[in-house]
Every structure is written in C-alpha cells, then in structure tokens.
Amino acid sequence: FAAPDWELVQAGPEPGGAAVLARLDFGADPARLALFPFPHVLEVAVRLVGLRLEVATTVMAGDEGPVPVAFGWHPYLSPPGAPRAEWEISFPPVRRLAVDDRQIPSGEEEPAPVTTGPIGNTTFDDGYAGVQPGAACSVSDGVRRITVEMTDGYPYAQIYAPGDVDVVCFEPMTAPANALVSGAGLRLVEPGGSLSATFAISVERL
C-alpha cells in the first residue's frame, strides 16, 4: 500500500463494522512492469466486523496474457499478556516443505503433525503445503487467542517465529517460496480472468 497510485474505491461503515476497497492498476507503471512484466489489476477488500478482520485479495489479468500468481500476507502477532515462552500456538496437520542450503524449497515434502502447546524456545521459519480452506492457526497468551484463518485460496503457508523478536507470524500464501522460478504450485490467471484469496484474523477473549 506504499505505492502512491492506489485508488480508494470505497470506504465506510457497515452493519457491525466497516469496510474499505482499494485498487491498483499494476500495468499502469512502466517501472513495475520492468520488474514483473504481467499487466494486471489488484484489488484488496478489507472488512472489520466485531473482533474479526477479513482481507480478500483479487488479481485480475489484462488481455495481454496470463498472469502468474504468487503472493502472500505477513500478519505479525505479539500477544502482550504473557512472555513469549508461555504463548500457546496451534496449527493443523500440513506438509512441511524441505529446503536446500539456501532455504529454497527443494520440491520434497514431509508430514508435519498437528502442533498444539507452549512455544517455549522453539523457533520457526518454515513453509508448508496442504493447507485446507478454513484452516486455522492461533496463538494465545492466556488472556486472548488470536487466530489466522486461511479462508480460501491459500494452499500454502509460512510460519515465522524468530528467537530474537517476540512475534509469531502465520503467513497465508498462494504459492510456495520461489514459485515464480520453479513453477511449483504456481497458478496462472488467464487473460480477462481473475483469482481471489481470502484470510481473516480474529481475536477471542479467554
């Protein structure tokens, strides 16, 4: 959203909350096309209802050709009610993406069982496949639970929890890292078509 040419399409209250819709014509900027030569329009719709924030992202291809889709979001969560080591995390069964010595996915996958419990000193910087629609990842400090729901369109995720910063990040992703090079998990939006993906963040008091 740092680009100055985002267009605010609409913004205002809704029953129980508020909503905003923004649009970016990616193909209108030659500098951007020099980096990613696939004209498209990007729309982001954000709705807040109660303690639930929903973010829907839509890529609309132009008529020039198909657009490869590989994007994600990076919600950093830091519940303040307890030290990091006492945070309880939870994420569903998925498949961990093996990486090479450059941290690039190698193409191999390994089972990752359901994870539930205190994070302790454990760190994460791992990619996962097999994320099902509606899959939920959460972190709790004993006072509140923050949940990231991969509502639809995000079959991959990255979980990031470094040891030197008190954050955990459940990142919804449309494709694994390096997909624009490897082609693994990469989807194409055909000319005139569109692809949407939605995730949500909710807060529950315990």
For the stretch 39-65, pLDDT in tens is: 999 999 999 999 999 999 999 999 988
- Mean predicted lDDT score pLDDT of the chain: 95
Average pLDDT over every residue of 85-107: 92
Average pLDDT over every residue of 91-96: 91
First to last CA, the chain: 33
| pLDDT tens readout for residues 21-32 | 999 999 999 999
Q: Please, what's the largest Cα pairwise distance for the chain?
A: 52
| pLDDT tens readout for residues 122-165 | 999 999 999 999 999 999 999 999 999 999 999 999 999 999 99
Q: Is residue 114 pLDDT above 80, yes or no?
A: no
Q: How much is the pTM?
A: 0.93
DSSP string of 84-98? GGG-EEEE--EEEEE
Tell me if 161 sits within 8 A of 197, measured CB to CB.
no
Q: Which two tokens stand for residue 100?
A: 């090479």
Q: Is residue 190 pLDDT above 80, yes or no?
A: yes
Map out the domains of the chain with their CATH numbers.
Answer: 7-205 (2.70.98.10)
DSSP type of residue 16: T
Q: What are the helix (H) ranges across 82-198? A: 179-182
What are the CA-CA distances from residue 73 to residues 150, 156, 189, 196 (Å)? 11, 11, 19, 13
